[in-house]
Structure 1
Amino acid sequence: MLGTHFIELPVAMPPMLPEMVGASNTQYFALYYQGSKATWSNGRAMATFSYYAVYAPLIEHIALAIYLEPYNLGSDDELPEHAILCDCVRNKMYVGAYKEIDYFLLQQHPHEPSQLTAQEFEEAVKAVESMTLEQMQRLGMFEMFGNTNPQARQQTVELVHWLDQQVTEELIQQYIELAKRGNYTAMMALETLKRRMAEARKQQQELEKN
């Protein structure tokens, strides 16, 4: 049962999100930012994933940005006070207090030992040894050096395209009204949308020329 204080976000969980962050074989996982890295955890395991290819396109997208504005998901200067909870079965996303979500995630594994067993350690080593360089790039493990993996870029395009489909005229109007009142998140979201529209027009003009 979900925590009573978790707020359901009005956008469904993007279906490609678990694969993009590297979370699998779990119903629930959380997303947040800590230690200068976008991070996911499921109460049993945690790992970092690509900030530029997944995290930023998700939380900064106009479909979600304004709903996440009141929450502190963490930054380079602050630990997360809140987190996004993803439900892979119901394809829903929630936001809530980091500590409450962390405790909730622990309940997914009530009968599992808290310490890493020898077998789990061996499996972890094998997992790292079996991971190819391409897989590491896709997860953003070498992002500080620049992620040039074509598949990762294509997945980002698909994520943004999916989020685009969740945007309504009413939502855009809400952003416009908030921007007029000086809301920084709304202004930045509209500026990003404006830039994307300009790029799309430029690409269309180039296609028409050819």
Structure 2
Amino acid sequence: MIGTQFIELPVTMPPMLPGMVGVSNVQYFALYYQGSKATWSNGRGMGTFSYFACYEPLIEHIALAIHLEPYNLGSDDVFPEHAILCDCALGKMYVGAYKEIHYFLSQQHSDELRQFTEQEFEAAVKALQDMSFEQMQRLGMFEMFSNTNPQACQQTVEMVEWLDQQVTEGLIQHYIQLANRGNWTAMRALETLQRRISEARKQQ
């Protein structure tokens, strides 16, 4: 059960998010940024995923940006103090202290540490060796060298369109009020939204 120390975000989790991140077989996982990579953790394992195809479009979307503003999810220069906690069963997202979320995630696993056999280890190594360039792109491994692949781009479009449906007129007005007060996050989000609207009109 989610503790009261976590703040529920007023946006439900995009249903395609676990697949985009590369998480499976757990109810809860966390998202944050560290070591120059968008990172996920489930309390026992962790990995990286695409910053440009998933992490940035998620946290900077107008549906979420202002709600995440008070929190430090990590950067190239700063270790994360907070993380986003995702509940796959209920489709909810929360934000809370990094250490508290990691402790919470560890509770979803058995107390007994699972022992991997030599065969399982060899199978895991082989799976990595057999991974295609496109699969590695989807995990964001080569973003500094090339763009993400078309499948990842399509998933990004679907996630952004899904988040768009959760934007209300009241939220837009809230952003406008904050922007008029000089809030940088609000101004950036509105500029991004305006640019998207202009690009959509050009394609009509």
Match of 2:25 in 1: 25
For residues 108 and 175 of structure 2, what CA distance do their matches in structure 1 show?
37
- CA distance, structure 1, for counterparts of residue 119 and residue 30 of structure 2: 26
What is the CA–CA distance in structure 2 between the aligned matches of 1:138 and 1:19, rounded to whole Å?
Answer: 10
Distance 1:104 1:123 in 2: 30
Q: Which residue of 2 aligns with 1:79?
A: 79
Task: Give the fraction of aligned pairs with identical amino acids, expressed as a percent.
Answer: 78
- Partners of 1:10 and 1:145 lie apart in 2 by 36
Question: Does structure 2 retain, via aligned residues, the 8 Å contact 1:140–1:147?
Answer: no
For 2:73 and 2:138, how far apart are their aligned partners in 1?
23
Change (3 A) 1:116 1:99: farther
Contact 1:3–1:100 (CA under 8 A) maintained in structure 2: no
- Map 1:111-122 → 2, pairs under 5 A: 111-113=111-113, 118=118, 120-122=120-122
Q: Distance in 1 between matches of 2:4 and 2:120?
A: 33
Does 2:181 match 1:181?
yes
Partner of 2:4: 4
Deviation for aligned residue 1:203: 1.1
Q: Give 1:208's aligned residue.
A: none
- TM-score, scaled to structure 1: 0.93
Secondary structure of the equivalent of 1:30? strand
> Within 5 Å, which residues of 2 pair with 1:150-169?
150-169=150-169
Residue in 2 that maps onto 1:64: 64
Give the unaligned 5+ runs of structure 2: none
Q: Cα–Cα, structure 1 residues 137 and 31, in superposed 2: closer, same or farther, change >3 Å?
A: same
1:109 aligned residue: 109
Asked if 2 retains the 8 angstrom alpha-carbon contact of 1:83 and 1:98, the reply is: yes
Structure 2 SS opposite 1:143:
coil
SS of the aligned residue for 2:176 comes to helix
Is 2:47 the partner of 1:42? no
What is the alpha-carbon root mean square deviation over aligned residues?
1.4
- The Cα shift of 1:32 comes to 0.0
Opposite residue 125 of structure 1, the aligned amino acid is V
Q: Give the superposition deviation at 1:115.
A: 7.1
Measured in 2, the distance between the counterparts of 1:62 and 1:116 equals: 43
In structure 2, distance between residues paired with 1:123 and 1:193:
45
User: How much has 1:122 moved relative to structure 2?
Assistant: 2.9
Aligned equivalents of 1:59 and 1:159: distance in 2?
12
Pick which of 138-147 and 110-119 moved more.
110-119
Change (3 A) 1:120 1:41: farther
1:186 alignment partner, SS class = helix
| Alpha-carbon spacing, 1:116–1:179, altered in 2? closer, same or farther (3 Å) | farther
Return the letter of the residue paired with 2:90.
Answer: R
- Code of the residue aligned with 2:186 in structure 1: it is A
Q: Is the 8 A contact 2:53 2:148 kept in 1?
A: no
Structure 1: state its 5+ residue gaps: 205-210
Aligned position for 1:149: 149
Structure 2 residue matching 1:32: 3-state secondary structure: strand
2:140 counterpart residue number: 140
